[in-house]
Amino acid sequence: MEILTYYQTSDILRLTSYLTMTYTIQIRPKRQATFPSSLLDALGVDVGDAVEVTLKGKKAIIKSKKQIALDALREIQRIFKESGITEKEMLKNAEKIRKELYVERAS
């Protein structure tokens, strides 16, 4: 996949980057908006999915909630790998804590 594409329009040389895309979205009277499918595809979002919108000053950053969860999972995996704890040890400790919580709640 080519990252940058150059094309000539009149006397202006334009640079299009797949890393930066700009979309214009109209807000309708009931504060509704339709997002272009190419934007949703780029975000990895499907109909019914949730997105997180973060405001930084007057700019909005839209992130797929699925992507946020996957990024968090990768970070957890990285931390466990660095800690030297095996998956077996983690599962054993999780089972122990689950049993302790069960006993605590049952009494």
Bridge pairing between strands 59-64 and 51-56: antiparallel
Specify the 3-state DSSP secondary structure of 26.
Answer: coil
Distances (CA, A) of 42 to 10, 36, 63, 75, 100: 29, 10, 10, 22, 44
Residue 43 contacts residue 64 (beta carbons within 8 Å): yes
User: Per-domain residue ranges for the chain?
Assistant: 4-63, 68-106
The pLDDT, as a whole number, for residue 95 is: 94
| pLDDT, tens digit only, all 107 positions of the chain | 444 444 444 445 444 445 677 888 888 999 998 889 988 888 888 889 999 999 999 888 888 998 889 889 989 888 888 888 888 888 899 999 999 999 999 88
Q: Spell out the SS3 assignment of 80-96.
A: HHHHCCCHHHHHHHHHH
Q: What is the pTM of this model?
A: 0.52
pLDDT of residue 99: 93
Q: What is the pLDDT of residue 84?
A: 86
